[in-house]
Amino acid sequence: MKTPRLSPQTLLLLERFLSRPAAWRYGYELSRETGLKSGTLYPILMRLAEHSLLETKWVTTEDGVPPRHTYRLTPKGMELARATFVRSRSSRTTRQPALAGGSA
Amino acid sequence: MTSQTYLRSVAASLLRLALKVAPQDSFGWGQAVFGELDYVEGDWPALAWAFGGAVVLTKHAMLSLILPGRKRTAINSGTSSWRLRSCLRFRSPLRSERANPKNENRMRPQRNGLPKWRHRYHQISRSVIY
């Protein structure tokens, strides 16, 4: 299956997931950590889930309260997120010497 | 969990309304937005939370009216206008036929240097005008 488009917001979200990869995360918790609004956050979460990069679960907390949707990275998602961050980090380190070259 | 106030009830009503018009493929995440509403701290942030979700759900609903049978991917408020434009972009029959190698013969210039379908169109339009 094709990987989704990795926008800056998606990367930010993946970074938050990678900080605690095994934990189930709530949407509001992710929104507070990333600063993304609900209208941006949920379509990204659903897109990642559609591509099997996130696993989702409904959690019932109390009676009469709507269940909460929780999210966690799948092994495939973890692999993609790690690979993306390694790639972005390596591109950053290769760019730095070129910038520093002027002062030498 | 926070107590129910007037603003919160407005937020909940807004989301419920948006869920009513939401297409099937967006309903799940609409419910997820609704499920989190009780946990948003502060009344105004709760209203903003509901409003953000409701706007995107409504956009999905409008998109499903324009493209009923089409499989839609999740869109956010930032990219929806771009995606809508790309969906509605005029697709020339010439371009789509050219993309298919089976239609190569059909696209070969014929009668007066025009491809077959264009020639036919030209004939029809001429018969209408004259």
* pLDDT tens track for A25-74: 999 999 999 999 999 999 999 999 989 999 999 998 777 788 899 999 99
pLDDT at A90: 72
List the one residue out of A14, A87, A2 whose CA is nearest residue A54.
A14
B12-50 confidence digits (pLDDT tens): 999 999 999 888 888 888 999 999 998 999 999 999 999
**Positions of chain B with pLDDT lower than 50, given as ranges:** 72-98, 107, 109, 121-122, 124-130
Choice between A8 and B103, residue whose per-residue pLDDT is larger: A8
Choice between B76 and A75, residue whose per-residue pLDDT is larger: A75
Token pair 């970074």 is found at A15
- Give B78's DSSP letter: T
Question: Which residues, listed in sequence order, are joined to residue A56 by a DSSP beta bridge?
Answer: A71
Residue of B nearest to A57 (CA): B32
Count of other CB atoms within 10 angstroms of residue A17: 22
pLDDT at A86: 81
A44–B74 C-beta distance less than 8 A: yes
| Angle between helical axes of A8-19 and A38-50 (0-180°, round to 10) | 70
- The helix or strand, by DSSP H or E, that contains position B74, with its residue range, turns out to be none
Q: Mutation target for A interface from B1, B25, B29: give the one with most A CBs within 10 A.
A: B29
The alpha carbon of residue B93 is apart from the nearest alpha carbon of chain A, in Å, by: 28
Give chain A's mean pLDDT.
Answer: 84
Which residue type, as a one-letter code, is found at position B10? Answer: V
Choice between A89 and B103, residue whose per-residue pLDDT is larger: A89
Q: What ipTM was assigned to the predicted interfaces of this complex?
A: 0.78
B53–A40 C-beta distance less than 8 A: no
Structure tokens at A50: 């559609």
Structure tokens at A102: 């002027």
Please state, in angstroms and rounded to a whole number, the distance separating the CA atoms of residues B7 and A83. Answer: 43
Please state, in angstroms and rounded to a whole number, the distance separating the CA atoms of residues B118 and B99. Answer: 17
Structure tokens at B2: 């926070």
List the one residue out of A62, A74, A66, A63 whose CA is nearest residue A28.
A66
List the one residue out of B33, B37, B35, B51 whose CA is nearest residue B5.
B37
Token pair 């903003």 is found at B48
